[in-house]
Amino acid sequence: MTEAPWLTVVGLGEDGLDGLSPASRQVLDRAEVIMGPPRHLSLLPETGAERVEWPVPFSEGIPILTGFRGRHTVVLASGDPFWFGAGSVIARHFKAGEWTALPGQSTFSLAAARLAWPLEDILTFGLHAAPLTRLRPHLARGLRAILLLRNGAAVAELATYLNETGFADSSLHILEALGGPRERTQKISLTEALLGSFAHPICVGLEVAGPGQAVPKASGKPDEIFETDGQITKRPVRALTLSALAPHRGEHLWDIGGGTGSISIEWLMSDPSLTATSIEPLAERAERIRRNADALGQDRLEVIHGTAPEVLDGLALPDVVFIGGGLSEALLNWLREHLPAGTRVVANSVTLESEALLALWQEKLGGELLRIELAQAAPLGPRRGWKSAYPVVQWSVTL
């Protein structure tokens, strides 16, 4: 016979017990331990249960919670624990059958109701524990989004960031303590956001306006959005390369010879389920990749300073490999010997030596060879002519 779960995650709103379902009330009444942030605990009357404040950082609470195994334990979370909440973290650390969840009304639903915004048309972000740069790929005139922020001071930080990115005409709907007796809603400008004081818990309805540069949704982002020392896969070639890499949901990329990180960053922009590791032998460039990834909201990019294939041992195996630099016989041999069948490999070359190497390996393993030749109009005396770039040879193969 299966035992009942000892752990229940309860979604709590700012109205405390008033907003709880009968099932949630019943669970709280029989709880031996109630664990949660101090603000959540303060919303409940005394029940006789042991009360434990969840520590900061959040990860330190998991060992404490594990120590209550076998006792009826409730963890308090905000609203819906599985929408930018604690639910998914707790679920990763405990077996199915040990825990259950009773969600409350989400902050996003309450905010959409106050603003009369259809949730299916709105982007939602949990930025209470994530950088504001997560917004960067999405910032464009006309965007509406609902953001969960860390605290009241983060409103001024958001206003500063929008100013810096060229969207100073944006409007903010400040929604404080939604669903409780302290609820307050106001629409303000960025200037008012910089001068104001706001109470926690807080979320913001964002309406983006201003002349800032939006990041295109298609592959081949503008070269200008990347910090570079000139070592970058140029936009048209990058678009063709991303097409050859053909990202699928949940896949992991190795970007070998990362340069500025443009390939792995665009890969991550394709879908939030994607992951990537960029390997770069030059320390200065590895640091630049990190800055580019952070600035463009792709802080989940893993950056490795080292030379392939020497640093590849021990890394999580990829679904796809891109070789943009450091192409060698040793590297190709390592990939063939260590990666499983079905791994896709794409390599770009610009030198005669690397082109000859790709031609040799295409003869061995098959795949497709593509020669990319581009030219741009440029001044030629008083007129114009075509200025050709170095041709790029691209090899694509499935091992």
CA 276 to chain CA centroid, Å, is 11
Pairing of strands 144-149, 202-207: antiparallel
**Two tokens, residue 63:** 């060992």
pLDDT bin (cut points 50, 70, 90) of residue 157 is very high
pLDDT score, position 250: 97
Taking residues 146-169, what's their average pLDDT?
A: 97
For residue 172, give both structure tokens: 């903010």
Residues 6+ apart with CB under 8 A from 10: 20, 24, 27, 28, 74, 75, 76, 77, 101, 102, 104
Tell me the whole-structure pTM to 2 decimals: 0.90
Domain spanning 108-207: which superfamily? Tetrapyrrole methylase, C-terminal domain (3.30.950.10)
Mean of the per-residue pLDDT values for the chain? 95
Domain ranges of the chain: 7-105, 108-207, 223-398
pLDDT of the residue at 175 = 97
Give me the mean pLDDT over the 211-220 stretch.
95
303: how many CB neighbours lie within 10 A of its CB? 22
What pLDDT shows up at residue 32? 96
In this predicted structure, what is the pLDDT of residue 245?
98
pLDDT at 15 (0 to 100): 87
**Predicted pLDDT at 4:** 77
**Per-residue pLDDT tens for 90-101?**
999 999 899 999
pLDDT confidence of residue 378? 94
The confidence score (pLDDT) of residue 348 equals 97
Q: Is the confidence at residue 2, as pLDDT, over 60? A: no
Residue in 132, 129, 81 with CA at minimum distance from that of residue 107:
81
Which DSSP string corresponds to 349-367? E-SHHHHHHHHHHHHHH--
Stretch 149-162: mean pLDDT = 97
Which residues make Cβ contacts (< 8 Å) with residue 89, sequence separation at least 6? 58, 62
The yes-or-no verdict on residue 1 having pLDDT over 60 is: no
User: Interior CA angle at 160 toward 156 and 166, to 5°?
Assistant: 145
Q: In the 8-state DSSP scheme, what is residue 96?
A: B
SS3 per residue for 165-179: CCCCCCEEEEEECCC
Query: pLDDT tens, 364-393?
Result: 999 999 999 999 999 999 999 999 989 999
pLDDT of residue 231: 84
Please state which CATH class domain 7-105 belongs to: alpha beta
What share of the chain has pLDDT > 70, as a percent? 99
pLDDT tens digit sequence for 161-198 = 999 999 999 999 999 999 999 999 999 999 999 999 99
What is the rounded CA–CA span in Å between residue 31 and residue 49? Answer: 6
Give the C-alpha separation, 75 to 318, whole Å. 37
Contact predicate 40/201, CB 8 Å: no
The per-residue pLDDT for range 311-365, each reduced to its tens digit, is 999 999 999 999 999 999 999 999 999 999 999 999 999 999 999 999 999 999 9
Of the pLDDT bands very low, low, confident and very high (cuts 50, 70, 90), residue 265 is very high
Share of the chain above pLDDT 90, in %: 91
Those residues with Cβ within 8 angstroms of residue 397's Cβ, 6 or more apart along the chain or in another chain: 344, 345, 361, 362, 365, 366, 367, 368
Residue in the structure block whose two tokens are 């956001």: 193
Nearest C-alpha neighbor of 215 from the set 328, 277, 118, 134: 134
With a cut of 80, say whether residue 3 has pLDDT above it: no
Q: Which CATH number applies to 223-398: 3.40.50.150, 2.60.120.10, 1.20.1740.10, 3.10.20.30? A: 3.40.50.150
